[in-house]
Amino acid sequence: MKTMTCRQLGGPCDLQHHGNTGDEIIHAQDAHLKEFVAAGDTAHETALAEMKGRWKNPVGGLGWYRRVKKEFKALPET
């Protein structure tokens, strides 16, 4: 298992996400952003908009996806 923070994924806070794969971490970040914005946290709105934009534009978002996967792979096991 590895750990990445919201901030490492482009968000505004240091909440830790844990996962066995980069995809698990990415999905955790997506859920985290949606949950916080739905609860009225305006600090996460920009990051959520960027995340939604990546999913709407797969070709453009692929660079971010590959970067996160590469950073995840380089992390030590926790």
Are residues 41 and 48 in contact, defined by beta-carbon separation less than 8 angstroms? no
What pLDDT does 45 receive?
97
User: Structurally, how many domains does the chain consist of?
Assistant: 1
Domain coverage including residue 43: 2-74
Q: What is the pLDDT tens value at each position of the chain, 78 positions in all?
A: 999 999 999 999 999 999 999 999 999 999 999 999 999 999 999 999 998 888 788 787 888 899 999 999 999 998
pTM score, whole prediction:
0.89
Three-state DSSP class for residue 10: coil
What pLDDT does 6 receive?
98
CA-based nearest residue to 6, from 78, 34, 73, 56: 34
